[in-house]
Amino acid sequence: MSMRQYLRPLVLLLLLPLASCYIPDKFRGELRLSRYGDYAITYEGDLIYAPIMHDYAGGRITPENEEEKNNNIYKDLVRDPAIKDIKRVGKGRFHVKYERMGRLGKVQLTAFLRRDARLLSMKANEDGSIIIDANGVKPGDAQRMAELGITMEGEFRITTDANVLKHNATEVRPYGQYQVYVWKMENALSATPTLIILRDPDPRRPL
C-alpha cells in the first residue's frame, strides 16, 4: 500500500465543544496518522455555530436578521478549502464534508477546523511526540447543549501504525499493520479523544 493510498480520505468523524465556535453533531470522522507524521483527516456531519444557538434561545434572531446571520456563518465555513461540500440544515446548523492532508513539521500545531475554531488539535513536539487532543465539554455546557437540542453524537477514529504511548479510546481494533482507535460519542459528556504517539524519523523525507 502506498502512502497516498494509506492517507486516502474516507467518509468519517471529529469532535468538540463550546471552547470552539462550532460544535460537531451527528458525525463520523477519522484521522489517519502515519508513524512519520503524515496525516489525513476527514469529517462528515453537522457543524453548529454555538453563538447563534444562544441567540435563538434568547429570542435575538428575528425574521428580519435570520437569513443574514446564517449567511455569515456559511461564508465563514466555505472560505476553508478543506470543506468540500456544505448544505444548510437551518438555525446555524450546516452539514459538511471536510478533507485535509498534510505532514506535521518537527514542531507544529495544527487543528480542525482551524486554529481559531479548534475542535481537534495535533501538536508535534521537539521530543518526537505528537499529541492528538479534542476539546472537552463542561457538565454545565453539556446541559445547556441538551436544552438547545445538540446531542454531539457521532464516532471518531484514529488509524495509525505509530508507537502509541497513551490513549483513552473506548475500543481498539487491529487493521493489518495498523491499529484503529475508536471513540463512540453518545452525548456531550462522552470521553473526548486523546492520543499520544512517538514519531519515527523518516529516512526518505527528513524534517
DSSP 83-123: EEEEEEEETTEEEEEEEEEEE--SSEEEEEEETTEEEEEEE
CA atoms within 13 A on the CB side of 86: 22
Q: For residue 76, give the C-alpha cell.
A: 465563514
- Position with higher pLDDT, 146 vs 4: 146
Average confidence (pLDDT) over 151-169: 95
- Residue 38: predicted pLDDT: 97
Domain range for 83 is 3-198
- Residue 40: predicted pLDDT: 98
Average pLDDT, the chain: 86
- Residue 114: predicted pLDDT: 82
- Position with higher pLDDT, 8 vs 182: 182
In a domain, 204, yes or no: no
In a domain, 205, yes or no: no
Average confidence (pLDDT) over 92-105: 96
In a domain, 203, yes or no: no
Q: Are 187 and 153 in contact (CB under 8 A)?
A: yes
Closest C-alpha to 170, from 153, 190, 154: 190
Distance CA 51, CA 70 (A): 11
Using 50, 70 and 90 to split pLDDT, how confident is the model at 149?
A: confident
In a domain, 108, yes or no: yes
Task: Show the beta-strand stretches assigned E in 34-189.
Answer: 38-49, 83-90, 93-103, 108-114, 117-124, 129-134, 154-160, 163-167, 171-175, 178-185
Residue 13 has pLDDT above 60, yes or no: no
Residue 132 has pLDDT above 60, yes or no: yes
- Residue 152: predicted pLDDT: 86
- Residue 205: predicted pLDDT: 67
In a domain, 43, yes or no: yes
Amino acid 155 reads: E
What would the pLDDT profile of 177-192 be if each residue is shown by its tens digit?
Answer: 999 999 999 888 888 8
Using 50, 70 and 90 to split pLDDT, how confident is the model at 206?
A: low
Distance CA 181, CA 178 (A): 10
In a domain, 54, yes or no: yes
In a domain, 207, yes or no: no
pTM: 0.84
In a domain, 32, yes or no: yes
Average confidence (pLDDT) over 111-132: 91
Closest C-alpha to 23, from 153, 131, 115, 121: 153
Distance CA 166, CA 181 (A): 11
Distance CA 197, CA 161 (A): 10
- Residue 72: predicted pLDDT: 95
Residue 155 has pLDDT above 90, yes or no: yes
Number of domains present in the structure of the chain: 1
Average confidence (pLDDT) over 144-153: 79
- Whats the size of the chain, residue-wise? 207
What would the pLDDT profile of 66-85 be if each residue is shown by its tens digit?
Answer: 999 999 999 999 999 999 99
Q: For residue 126, give the C-alpha cell.
A: 521537539
